[in-house]
Amino acid sequence: MKEKRGPRFGDPLEMVTPEKQRRLRRAAEAWLTGQPSLRGLRVGFDVVAVRSGRVERVPNAF
């Protein structure tokens, strides 16, 4: 989880860069490799942002 306050830091969804997505996918793959009972599990990632005090969820963002 990461928090940025105020609009001067940019849109929260822009903080989920392709590099961050790649690193998160690799970490998830590494963890899942050690969980044989979860073999074949399809994994996706949602992204949640707070904009103007409202929570926004992007399901299956990547």
Q: DSSP characters for 2-58?
A: ----SGGG--GGGGS-HHHHHHHHHHHHHHHHT-GGGTT------EEEEETTEEEEE
How far apart CA 24 and CA 1 sit, in angstroms, is: 12
What does the pLDDT read at residue 43?
Answer: 93
Q: Would you kindly state where each structural domain of the chain is located, as residue ranges?
A: 7-58
If one counts every other C-beta atom within 10 angstroms of the C-beta of residue 12, the result is 16
The pTM (predicted TM-score) of the whole model is: 0.75
What does the pLDDT read at residue 39?
Answer: 92
Question: Which tokens is 6 given?
Answer: 């105020």
Q: Express each pLDDT in 14-61 by its tens digit.
A: 889 999 999 999 999 999 999 999 999 999 999 999 888 899 999 999
What does the pLDDT read at residue 31?
Answer: 96
> For the chain, how many residues are written?
62
